[in-house]
Amino acid sequence: MKSKLLYAFIAMALFACKDDDGNEPITPVIPNEEEVITTVRYTLTPSGGGAAAVFQFQDIDGDGGNAPIITSDSLDSNVTYTGSLEFFNELETPADTITKEVLEEGDEHQVFFQVTSGDFVISYADVDKNGNPLGLSTTFESNTMGGSLTVILRHEPDKAAAGVSGGDITNAGGETDIEVGFPVNVR
Partner 1 sequence: MLDKLLILLFTITVISSHAQTCELTVFGKVLDKQTKKPIEFASVYVEELTKGTVSNVEGEFEINHLCSGEYHLVVSHIGCETQKIFFQLSADTTWTVYVEHSNQLLNEVTVEDHFQESQSQEVEVIGVKEMNRQLSKSLGQTLENISGVAAIKNGNGVAKPVVHGLYGNRLTILNNGIAQSGQQWGVDHAPEIDPLLANRITVVKGVGAVEFMGNSLGSVILVEPKKIDKDPHLHGNARYFFSSNGLSNGINFELQQYHKWVAWKVNGTLKKSGDTNTPDYFLTNTGVEEYNFSAELEKQITSKWSANLYYSSFNTQIGILRGSHIGNLTDLRSAFSANQPFFTQENFSYNIQNPRQEVSHQLLKASSKYLFSEQAWVEVVYAKQINNRKEFDVRRGGRNDKPALSLDQESDFFETKFHYYFQNEWHLKTGVQVNRVNNVNVPETGILPLVPNYLSNERGGFLIVAKSFDKLKLEMGARVEEENRKVASISNTVPREILNFDNTYLNYTASAGVQYAWNEQFSMNYNVGLAARNPEVNEMYSNGLHQGVSGIEEGDINLNTERAIKNTLSFATKKKEKLFAEVLLYHQYIQDYIYLQAQDEFRLTIRGAFPLFKYEQTDAQIYGLDLVTKYQINELWLTELNYSFIRGNEIDNGVSLINLPSNSILSTTSWQLPQIKSLKNVELQMLHRYVFEQRNITADQDFVAPPEGYYLLGFRASSEKQFKSIRLEGHLGVENALNARYRDYLNRQRYFADELGRNFTVGLVVGF
State in angstroms the smallest separation of the CB of 129 from partner 1. 16
Q: Which is nearer to partner 1, 62 or 147 (CB)?
A: 62
How far apart are the C-alpha atoms of 120 and 167, rounded to whole Å?
14
Classify 78 in phi/psi space as left (phi over 0), alpha (psi -120 to 50) or beta.
left
Q: Are 113 and 154 in contact (CB under 8 A)?
A: no
Least Å distance, CB 42 to partner 1, is 13
Complex with partner 1: residue 73 or 155, whichever CB lies closer: 155
Rounded to a whole number of angstroms, the minimum distance from the CB of residue 80 to partner 1 is: 28
We find the least distance from the C-beta atom of residue 166 to partner 1, in angstroms, to be: 18
Nearer to partner 1, 49 or 166 (CB): 166
Taking a C-beta distance cutoff of 8 angstroms, is the pair 62, 75 a contact? no
Of 187, 167, 179, nearest to 70 by C-alpha is 179
DSSP 8-class letter at 97: E
* Residues 140, 61: Cα–Cα separation, whole Å: 31
From its phi and psi, is residue 65 left (phi > 0), alpha (psi between -120 and 50) or beta? left
Report the distance separating Cα 141 and Cα 82, nearest Å.
9
Nearer to partner 1 among residue 63 and residue 130 (C-beta): 63
Nearer to partner 1, 39 or 138 (CB): 39
In whole angstroms, the minimum distance from the beta carbon of 41 to partner 1 comes to: 12
The site for partner 1 (CB under 8 A) is made up of: 2, 5-6, 9-10, 12-13, 16-17, 19-20, 23-35, 37-38, 40, 57, 59-68, 91, 98, 101-102, 104-105, 108-109, 152, 154-156, 158, 173-180
